[in-house]
Copies of this chain bind each other. A is one copy, B any other.
Amino acid sequence: MADSTAKPQPQQPPKSAISPRRADDFPEWYQAVLAAADLAEHSEVRGCMVIKPWGYGIWENIQAQLDRMFKATGHKNAYFPLFIPLSYLEKEAEHVAGFAKECAVVTHHRLEAGPDGKLIPTGKLAEPLVVRPTSETIIGAAYAKWVQSYRDLPLLLNQWANVVRWEMRPRIFLRTTEFLWQEGHTAHETEPEAQAETRTMLDVYETFAREHLALPVLRGRKSASERFPGAVDTLCIEAMVQDCKAVQAGTSHFLGQNFAKASGIRYLSRAGQQEFAWTTSWGVSTRLIGTLIMAHADDDGLVLPPRVAPSQVVIIPVIPKEEMRDKVLGACRALAEQIKSAQFHGEPVRVEIDARDVTGGNKTWEWIKKGAPLRVEIGPRDLDAGTVFVGRRDKGPKEKQSYPQATFAAEVPALLQSIHDTIYARALAFRDANTRVIESKDEFYAWFTPKNEAKPEIHGGFALAHWNGSPEVEAKIKEDLKVTIRCIPFEDKPEPGTCIFTGEPSAQRVVFGKSY
């Protein structure tokens, strides 16, 4: 070993709470953030996760807030069976082909002791049941019964549910065998109405990502090879996370009449004709949680967008001597009541007091790692001075500011909004810094080639480049670089150009990236 006294050591970067850091090993950093924030963990059931209370609390807020947006756009909730008869799934050929390799199949409906006394499945089903990977076909069967005339349209329903897609390489929140999601399913009288619905719901997702999750996302349509199996058109929102990869964070599908034909959703038109309905489906899932973690968390742990944080403000009592406990806790409770009565986006601010018997420093670090937007410390000195000591999660862990106790609660909504705005601006700046307009194939290949062989996940980011629309070109790029077209962005005036791969004409630039 080298003599450490001989030369000055290279200066150490400041300590971080999460090891490894993002820059050193992004996948391991992600796992470490999940653990440090106590969000979720792998279960013993292959590919299935356990969502712990702090992680589930984020999902509850996502659910409640999105649900209000769905209802405001005229949708109601309903619930359809978990199981889909195999014959239903087979009705749409592309659809079943797309999901066949990842279906959990129920084949028996009881257990009985076998010859060796161990339980074995018995009661074999005449027709196997697939655990829903998505519900177009089972919901289509119901719609076919419910829709008779144009008066029954539009039918605008949503379902909050669990779905199962067998996953060989699970990653918590991003890709798990079972996940939680919502799936909207609508049926319309005309093609333009169904297309408008598809776009409306994509815009709801974009608004939600921006205003609730502080995520800037690109909006656009998928190329044919990336469409939902059975869809005519798939619209998507795409986020960039901190390893410069893309995450498809939500999709909205225009299904044309494909599923209406497969399920027999017919209606008597105004002209007295039997017509097939036009349908859509759209969904977001617990993947949104993975996306916000990868977009916002830092080397000290999770950074939560305030609107979905289970607790937006955490009050940490500082109790140096036991005899001060009652007084300090009393002040904490009084402050918590004041903060609760402040409103943030029309809801009472969510506040909790962490009165556990743990040293203050450890508590503070726990809440930093859990990403609580505001930490408020109150001790005897603050009581005397009439102040509180406040840490914002978007600033450094040591950067704290004193506020007057009397007026702090009233400032909380503005502070939360400021944290939201800061992390949104950061994510946007990151995406901008890692997006490049690319004019040649060589530049394109250089952009997506890892700079460091040991860290293949680090690469250029998004590329905006002209493409001739050919699936073969797309397939070659995917084979060479693992890069796909993330979306063909919506543009008011698309600028035509020349495909950088073939020299052929291109209608507009499209967004390329590596994706989760």
Residues of A within 8 A of B (CB): 43-45, 48-53, 56-57, 59-60, 76-86, 88-90, 96, 100-112, 118-121, 123, 128-131, 138, 141-142, 157, 161-162, 164, 166, 178, 180
Per the bound structure, the CA–CA distance linking A107 and B56 in Å amounts to 29
User: What residue of chain B has the Cβ atom nearest to residue A42's Cβ?
Assistant: B81
**Cβ distance A189 to chain B, nearest Cβ, rounded Å:** 15
Interface contact A78-B100, CB-CB below 8 Å? no
User: What residue of chain B has the Cβ atom nearest to residue A118's Cβ?
Assistant: B90
Interface contact B110-A102, CB-CB below 8 Å? yes
Interface contact A45-B84, CB-CB below 8 Å? yes
A43-B81, A51-B78 known; 6 new pairs, CB 8 Å cut-off, are A44-B141, A45-B84, A83-B104, A103-B109, A103-B111, A110-B166
**In the complex, the 10 A-B pairs of residues with the closest C-beta atoms, listed nearest first:** A48-B81, A53-B76, A51-B79, A105-B121, A100-B111, A105-B108, A109-B166, A45-B81, A107-B107, A104-B106
**Cβ distance A58 to chain B, nearest Cβ, rounded Å:** 11
Q: Inside 8 A of A111's CB, which chain B residues have their CB?
A: 86, 96, 100-101, 103, 105, 130
Interface contact A121-B109, CB-CB below 8 Å? no
Per the bound structure, the CA–CA distance linking A123 and B107 in Å amounts to 13
Q: Inside 8 A of A106's CB, which chain B residues have their CB?
A: 104-107, 131
Interface contact B119-A110, CB-CB below 8 Å? no
Interface contact B78-A56, CB-CB below 8 Å? yes
Given A50-B80, A82-B164, A85-B45, A110 and B103 contact (CB-CB distance below 8 Å): yes
Per the bound structure, the CA–CA distance linking A110 and B104 in Å amounts to 6
Interface contact B104-A77, CB-CB below 8 Å? no
Q: Inside 8 A of A59's CB, which chain B residues have their CB?
A: 79
Q: Inside 8 A of A141's CB, which chain B residues have their CB?
A: 43-44
Per the bound structure, the CA–CA distance linking A77 and B50 in Å amounts to 12
Given A50-B142, A53-B157, A131-B131, A110 and B101 contact (CB-CB distance below 8 Å): yes
Interface contact B119-A86, CB-CB below 8 Å? yes
Work out how many copies of this chain go into the complex. Answer: 2
Interface contact A109-B119, CB-CB below 8 Å? no
**Cβ distance A136 to chain B, nearest Cβ, rounded Å:** 15
Q: Inside 8 A of A123's CB, which chain B residues have their CB?
A: 166
User: What residue of chain B has the Cβ atom nearest to residue A43's Cβ?
Assistant: B81
Interface contact A43-B80, CB-CB below 8 Å? yes
Q: Inside 8 A of A60's CB, which chain B residues have their CB?
A: 77
Per the bound structure, the CA–CA distance linking A129 and B47 in Å amounts to 13
Interface contact B50-A79, CB-CB below 8 Å? yes
Q: Inside 8 A of A161's CB, which chain B residues have their CB?
A: 162
User: What residue of chain B has the Cβ atom nearest to residue A64's Cβ?
Assistant: B64
Per the bound structure, the CA–CA distance linking A90 and B112 in Å amounts to 12
User: What residue of chain B has the Cβ atom nearest to residue A52's Cβ?
Assistant: B78
Interface contact B77-A56, CB-CB below 8 Å? yes
Interface contact A82-B178, CB-CB below 8 Å? yes
Per the bound structure, the CA–CA distance linking A84 and B104 in Å amounts to 13
Q: Inside 8 A of A105's CB, which chain B residues have their CB?
A: 106-111, 121
Q: List 18 A-B contacts (CB under 8 A).
A: A45-B81, A45-B85, A45-B138, A50-B142, A51-B78, A56-B79, A57-B76, A82-B131, A83-B178, A86-B119, A100-B110, A101-B111, A104-B108, A104-B109, A107-B107, A111-B130, A121-B128, A161-B162
Per the bound structure, the CA–CA distance linking A187 and B513 in Å amounts to 47
Interface contact A96-B119, CB-CB below 8 Å? yes
User: What residue of chain B has the Cβ atom nearest to residue A48's Cβ?
Assistant: B81
Q: CB < 8 Å: which of B44, B89, B142 contacts A43?
A: B142
Per the bound structure, the CA–CA distance linking A161 and B85 in Å amounts to 21
Q: Inside 8 A of A82's CB, which chain B residues have their CB?
A: 48, 131, 162, 164, 178
Q: Inside 8 A of A100's CB, which chain B residues have their CB?
A: 110-112, 119
**Cβ distance A39 to chain B, nearest Cβ, rounded Å:** 11
User: What residue of chain B has the Cβ atom nearest to residue A79's Cβ?
Assistant: B51
Interface contact B43-A138, CB-CB below 8 Å? yes
**Cβ distance A354 to chain B, nearest Cβ, rounded Å:** 14
Q: Inside 8 A of A52's CB, which chain B residues have their CB?
A: 78
Interface contact A50-B81, CB-CB below 8 Å? yes
